[in-house]
Amino acid sequence: MKKRIASFLAAAALLVGLPLAAAADSPAAGPTVHIKNFMFVPMTVTVAPGTTVTFVNDDDEPHTVTSTVKAFDSEGLDTHQTFKQSFAKAGTYLYFCEVHPYMHGTVIVKAPQ
């Protein structure tokens, strides 16, 4: 119930255009990248700083979401398992699947223009 009230307040705050302190503290929910047929779909997502990207494994095969510079690592994601990663700072984050290293994806983090 608390959650519903909070989201109502958040919606109300957005409607009247008020800055909401709580929203700045917790990362904004961002796009979902599906892992399907040994591909990250979409292969590239662009998000604002502070966004959380969700990765979900739709394959019958395990995959990982592993930063090429080890900035983050989902470890093994079984079928239907999800992994959330927030991106605080602007930059280009390359990642791959450790089990199938020819699978690549990119998260571009930049402030909205």
Task: Give DSSP secondary structure letters for 2-43.
Answer: HHHHHHHHHHHHHHTT---HHHHHSPEEEEEEEEETTEEESS
- Give 39's strand partners: 36
Q: Is 69 in the site for another protein (CB under 8 A)?
A: no
Spatial separation of the C-alpha atoms in residues 63 and 103, rounded to whole Å:
9
Q: Is 42 in the site for another protein (CB under 8 A)?
A: no
Pick the closer one to another protein by CB: 93 or 96: 96
Q: Is 60 in the site for another protein (CB under 8 A)?
A: yes
Pick the closer one to another protein by CB: 46 or 73: 73
* Binding region for another protein (CB under 8 A): 37-39, 59-62, 64, 73, 75-76, 78-79, 98-102
